[in-house]
A = this chain, B = another copy of it.
């Protein structure tokens, strides 16, 4: 029913998409309200019917981006945590999602470093949540019995940092398959190196 609210949401979606598309080339901070409006095909002032400012738009995109990221971890969690192929499976899920949600990843990669303060804060908060979840997942793995909670958090932080860097590298590889393949192979090796370190790690008492 209700064509009225439907239409509003359709326009809202168009604004979000336009912002994502423009984010392919520059930061949110360098994108004008008028550019977004022109891309959508509405008059500049109509923008205000949906968002108070470009920053508010950015916060909505952060929410959206991390929502899609959560479906990603759900995909990784699916299937039992058999230790053997956990690395390969995690990375291939990551790579798939980077391709599938390319615009969102690109947006986050940019705004994480250069966005308005509120946006940066929201992103780093989400990444922190993400690290915490990874830490509880790791705690379920065999061999982590003797680990302190802090060491688990530190390990998670390292892994997330490496995976963020991998995602950024893939985005920067501009679709050249050979380059991307190398990046992915390196990521696999790095994750294995870290896990070898983890298996031989002794938490301080």
Contacts and interface: CB of A to CB of B under 8 A. Distances in A.
A23 B9 CA distance: 36
A162 B172 contact: no
A154 B27 contact: no
B198 A193 contact: yes
Interface string A138-178: 00000000000001001101100110010010001000000
A158 B162 contact: yes
User: What's the dominant secondary structure at chain A's contact region?
Assistant: helix
A200 B198 CA distance: 11
Nearest to A25: B117
Q: How many copies does the complex hold?
A: 2
Nearest to A166: B161
B155 A193 contact: yes
Interface centre among A158, A195, A201 (most CB of B within 10 A): A158
Interface stretch (A39-47, A73-81, A105-113): A105-113
22 contacts: A26-B29, A26-B114, A27-B27, A27-B30, A29-B29, A30-B30, A110-B114, A113-B113, A113-B114, A151-B189, A154-B193, A157-B190, A158-B162, A158-B193, A161-B161, A161-B162, A162-B162, A165-B165, A193-B201, A196-B197, A197-B197, A197-B198
